[in-house]
């Protein structure tokens, strides 16, 4: 079983490899290489914070950053975890805002209600 630290390291390696490959391509986007690297480093820092949070388990959160705006997508167990993930993301240096698109997964007990 891989530890969270190992998984974050692998994600970092994959992200940096992708950025290096992108830096050699011509791009029509307005996003500069320094901004791309900054966004990638913000995403990685947010992922590290989520992975290392002792109070919550955030295995199903995708993090994307565009010009300092962090997008959180995925599923969490509770509304408190949803709020905690946004707080952790906002605490990362360079983050100018967080779009919290996380969904709270209904428990089996909630399925029968309605």
The string of pLDDT tens digits covering residues 11-61 is 656 555 555 555 444 444 566 777 777 999 999 999 999 999 988 877 789
Q: What is the mean pLDDT of the chain?
A: 79
pTM score, two decimals? 0.67
CA gyration radius for the chain?
Answer: 16
Instruction: Output the pLDDT for position 56.
Output: 81
Instruction: Show the domains of the chain with their CATH numbers.
Output: 4-111 (3.30.1340.30)
In whole angstroms, give the CA distance from residue 64 to residue 79.
Answer: 21
In whole angstroms, give the CA distance from residue 28 to residue 26.
Answer: 7
Nearest to 42 by CA among 21, 68, 74, 8: 68
Instruction: Output the pLDDT for position 35.
Output: 75
Q: Name every residue whose Cβ is closer than 8 Å to that of residue 51 and which is 6 or more positions away in sequence.
A: 4, 5, 7, 8, 58
């Amino acid at each position: 079983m891989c530890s969270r630290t190992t998984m974050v390291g692998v994600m970092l390696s994959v992200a940096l490899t992708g950025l290096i490959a992108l830096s050699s391509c011509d791009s029509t986007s307005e996003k500069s290489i320094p901004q791309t690297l900054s966004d990638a480093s913000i995403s990685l820092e947010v992922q590290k914070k989520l992975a290392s949070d002792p109070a919550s388990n955030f295995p199903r959160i995708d993090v994307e950053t565009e010009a300092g705006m962090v997008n959180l997508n995925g599923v969490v167990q509770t509304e408190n975890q949803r709020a905690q993930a946004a707080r952790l993301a906002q605490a990362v240096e360079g983050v100018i805002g967080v779009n919290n698109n996380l969904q709270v997964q209904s428990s089996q007990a909630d399925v029968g209600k309605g």
